[in-house]
A and B are shown apart, each in its own frame.
Chain A
């Protein structure tokens, strides 16, 4: 008897985010939670960790019924949730951050805190230095710090909602090691992910959710086909990029030097043809974003030229790039794409290209309802952007894209999307490619890069280390290049 959920219900208006979820997880179990976008995984995790209160249902831990009204209640009961991008106070040291959420009295006990931190670090192999400034930590190390803090607060249940988006493969291995060791110590771990191979590698058991309900539980070893079928019914995941004839050059960079804060891309020459898909690989912050922003006209190059077709756009304004058919979709959906506080209908109207002085709201709402159906967005025309699940925010962004895009620039096009949605997104993108759109996308997912790109440019500390042919390279070679090594040893 360990963690037990009984008939959890949680509705948001008409949406049944959790519709009678019952689940049991034993001590020492690494339990995966799977499901399509909007299935209700995050909602369930938030209920268990006290961030939202369920309408009805019970949470039991070790046979005792918990009253969870706040994250504080949850952590006191021994349930801690790791956030995707853990909140840390950057100018403080690791130890200070650790102590900030410390239990007990008003007086800080630095010595005890440091001791606890070091013990946890030794036991679980955390790689950070307690005296270092938090801002020097990678996202992966911040997660470790947060785990250490939750442990110190007495967590016996650890919840991770899509923890592997935005961390490197090496950091992911490290995280898995830590989670395995925690499970050996009797910890209950709930692990939400869209990546089947992660669930297969890590978890002992998994629960599949669909539309707020539990479809079923599966024990390891898992079969991917079975999981996919449980999630979506029968789906055939497409084989990736069909060969398409390349057209004339759409994007041409000649010795472009551009810098943004700490990253400088130097003397980059590159061209992308109509109908071509260029993948950008590399660790986060190696220059991919800087490059994309230069191509979008958001950063002005210090030297070199950028041409779109026959037009020299060097030093021109973002507006000119837009008019030339460039479309940029950055990674931060709610920060640089959607507008929190505005509805889906308003978003569609904003990007409709209509120019009439008065907005025909009846027409706009009808169109929005159609678009929502057409793009399978889970939401209504009145839903505000921030109420959509991550995957549905991405669908909305894609749905807002104009038809006549010549060059599409994207960061992490399928981050946070379930397999079916990711596949759907790529079906849409490849259809655009058929009609001659050139696509440049950055991704941290090697599979995605290999599957959909024609060529892959590997960035390392601001430079393109090499451009490889996606058809002939291997994941290993790509991994080494990303790490800055020119050849496989």
Chain B
């Protein structure tokens, strides 16, 4: 119980601080704060009709976050996840454009190829890191740009709409290859199922299996892990591959379930946002789901702000950024406090997280 309180302290204090700062910001720009927050709530989870919109953002965010849990456990910052989502979307688009057959077969094939494209794109920084020691942050960022460029090239080049070449996207995919939805819902139960399954699978994999245990050792002390006989390079590559696969699936969902075509901004910044989600979740897989939901709600709800209150919707981004900053600051403060407490030994410093 006490442990739970300790764990929750950082997120709760951070959220309160971020809300307070947002409040201040809204007052400064002369907007009614309560009303603004109400609009965000109402535009996302507060109204039944808006919930599918929120889930549309939640699914790719959660998938990418689940993937990043794996690379973080291996001690790496897979910043390139954004590009891996784009490549997944490209792979899926390729399948539904080029293949025809029973929808179930084509959709499954699209998921597989999307995941493979994501894996391929993730293995590049993985290979550069394990083989040449190139830091994955640098190669990752570069590859995000390359992936976007490839998408744009396809959209205005080989896959351009009949007659017009425009950056607004390719032709819509055949409707039978769209992800299945229930009734008139705009959103696919399949995508939600995939995201939930991914979070649960990753949580189990990281905490309950030998693979997760070894990956943790690799992430915390690469050298000791190697001496124990763990093939560290293979483990690091597998972490990249797993993250890439989930990012690729996120891209597939974006293409087949939401846009129904390939657009230049298909990844919707979900990869970058997912990094914040994982930081906020303290690298714990199960926590990514609710935190991603919160992020998704902010994102979707804040579009109401411009509509109703004439405030720029980028406010959501500001709040999210502040949240992460506060999390980091409060987290550091907490760590310092624990250390101080430990010095007075009112609490034990042993064990703790896990």
Contacts and interface: CB of A to CB of B under 8 A. Distances in A.
Interaction A to B: yes
Interface of A: 10-15, 52-53, 55, 318-319, 322, 328, 330, 335-343, 346, 349-351, 354-359, 361, 380, 382-384, 387
A-B pairs, top 9 by smallest CB distance, nearest first, are: A13-B348, A382-B351, A339-B221, A53-B343, A13-B350, A341-B220, A339-B220, A322-B229, A339-B224
A355 B351 contact: no
Contact of B210 (A340, A358, A380): A358
Given A337-B227, A350-B217, A55 B345 contact: yes
Given A322-B229, A330-B227, A383-B350, A359 B345 contact: no
B221, B344, B349 — which one has the most chain A CB atoms within 10 A of its CB? B221
Contacts of A350: 213-214, 217, 228, 230
A10 B229 CA distance: 38
Contacts of A335: 221, 223-224
Nearest to A13: B348
Contacts of B350: 12-13, 15, 380, 382-384, 387
Given A318-B226, A335-B224, A387-B350, A53 B217 contact: no
Given A53-B344, A351-B228, A346 B213 contact: yes
Contacts of B231: 319
Interface of B: 208-211, 213-214, 216-217, 220-221, 223-231, 342-345, 347-352, 354
Contact of A13 (B226, B227, B349): B349
Given A319-B231, A359-B210, A14 B343 contact: no
27 contacts: A10-B345, A12-B345, A12-B349, A13-B348, A13-B349, A14-B348, A15-B350, A52-B343, A53-B345, A318-B229, A319-B229, A328-B227, A336-B223, A337-B227, A338-B224, A339-B217, A339-B224, A343-B351, A350-B213, A350-B214, A350-B217, A351-B228, A357-B210, A359-B213, A380-B350, A382-B351, A384-B350
Nearest to A14: B348
A328, A336, A341, A354 — which one has the most chain B CB atoms within 10 A of its CB? A341
Given A55-B345, A382-B351, A342 B216 contact: yes
Nearest to B231: A319
A273 to B, nearest CB: 25
A24 B275 CA distance: 55
Contacts of B213: 346, 349-350, 359
A336 B224 contact: yes
A343 B210 contact: no
Secondary structure class of chain A's binding surface, majority of residues: loop
Nearest to A381: B351
Contacts of A12: 342, 345, 348-350
Contacts of A346: 213, 216-217
A359 B227 contact: no
Contacts of B354: 343, 382
B349 A356 contact: no
B208 A359 contact: yes
B253 to A, nearest CB: 28
Contacts of A337: 224, 227
Contacts of A11: 345
Nearest to A298: B227
A487 to B, nearest CB: 39
A196 B220 CA distance: 37
Contacts, number: 87
B228 to A, nearest CB: 6
B49 to A, nearest CB: 43
Contact of B227 (A52, A336, A355, A387): A336
Contacts of B217: 339, 342, 346, 350
A322 B226 CA distance: 11
A277 B351 CA distance: 38
Contacts of A356: 210
A53 B346 CA distance: 11
A55 B351 contact: no
Nearest to A364: B213
A355 B211 CA distance: 10
Given A13-B347, A335-B221, A343-B354, 15 more contacts: A10-B345, A13-B350, A318-B226, A328-B227, A330-B227, A341-B221, A343-B351, A346-B213, A350-B228, A350-B230, A351-B228, A357-B209, A357-B211, A382-B351, A384-B351
A355 B229 CA distance: 13
Given A339-B217, A342-B217, A359 B209 contact: yes
A354 B211 CA distance: 12
Contacts of A354: 210
Nearest to A402: B229
A260 B69 CA distance: 36
A437 to B, nearest CB: 18
Contacts of B345: 10-12, 53, 55
Contacts of A319: 229, 231
A336, A354, A355 — which one has the most chain B CB atoms within 10 A of its CB? A336
A292 B214 CA distance: 26
A361 B213 CA distance: 11
Given A12-B348, A319-B231, A337-B227, A342 B220 contact: yes
B323 to A, nearest CB: 26
B76 to A, nearest CB: 16
Contacts of A342: 216-217, 220
Nearest to B340: A53
Nearest to A383: B350
A107 B129 CA distance: 44
Contacts of A13: 347-350
Contacts of B347: 13
Given A343-B354, A383-B350, A355 B343 contact: no
Contact of A340 (B214, B220, B228, B229): B220
Contacts of B343: 52-53
Given A13-B349, A14-B348, A55-B344, A358 B209 contact: yes
B327 to A, nearest CB: 20
A149 B55 CA distance: 63
A359 B217 CA distance: 15
